[in-house]
Amino acid sequence: MDTIARTPQQVGAGIRRFRRQKKLTQRDLGEKMHARQATVSKLEAGEPATQLRMLMDALAGLDLELVIRPRTKLTAEAIEDLF
Amino acid sequence: MDTIARTPQQVGAGIRRFRRQKKLTQRDLGEKMHARQATVSKLEAGEPATQLRMLMDALAGLDLELVIRPRTKLTAEAIEDLF
DNA sequence: CGTCAATATGCGCGTTCGCGAATATTTATT
DNA sequence: AATAAATATTCGCGAACGCGCATATTGACG
């Protein structure tokens, strides 16, 4: 399932969901992306000042990618996902 | 047209493309997101240490959103887009 | 409950952000 | 070629990063 993100928090939540789906710990992901577990923690918490590099490294570590696209109207289901 | 991004540089290039599509200058976008023109410049250049907040603010200013999804096989067309 | 794994938080350090402000430098446009 | 607009780059500053290292705190499970 793809994840829509419009805020740092939603980005973090998306990363976390995919990481858990792959049964990886923050430490596991941290090793893949050469970052500390603490850094992964902040990224998933949606810390707004997290560096873009950390996001992209995490995506690579989880074999994910970003799509940038015009905002869509949120469906009822998509709204559910935000919570 | 949606943009696929796997690196900070590709993220920046995507932002730039959408900004130009909307006939906005870096200064225009900067005002919308309460950031300096210089900051927009670095974001579009793909500076890896750019803050996540800057990315999300820029997307909001351009009425865009992110999708996080599993990496896809790149089609010939998508590969073109990377250059 | 107790125990261990997983996650969150803290400190000091070096680095780099984004800021205001200003200035190159590049890119139209005529 | 000349001018103006757009973009890139620099300075000093305060703030926050990610780091190693260490320690709470929380969560899962027997």
Per-residue pLDDT tens for A52-76?
Answer: 999 999 999 999 999 999 998 866 5
Query: Residue A1 — very low, low, confident or very high, per pLDDT cuts 50/70/90?
Result: confident
Question: Which residues 3-32 on chain A approach chain B with CB closer than 8 angstroms?
Answer: 3-8, 11, 14-15, 18
Length of chain A: 83
- Mean pLDDT taken over chain A: 92
**Which residue in the block uniquely carries the two structure tokens 């805020």?**
A7
pLDDT at position A75? 62
Domains of chain A: 8-67 (1.10.260.40)
B38 CB-to-strand D distance under 7 Å: yes
Residue B49 has pLDDT above 80, yes or no: yes
Q: Residue ranges of the alpha helices (H) in A1-51?
A: 8-21, 26-32, 37-45
* Residue B67, helix vs strand vs coil: strand
Q: What is the pLDDT of residue A76?
A: 56
Reported confidence tier of residue B22, pLDDT bands at 50, 70, 90: very high
DSSP 8-state secondary structure symbol assigned to residue A32: H
Q: Is A34 on the interface with B (CB under 8 A)?
A: no
Would the CB atoms of A4 and B53 count as touching at under 8 Å?
no
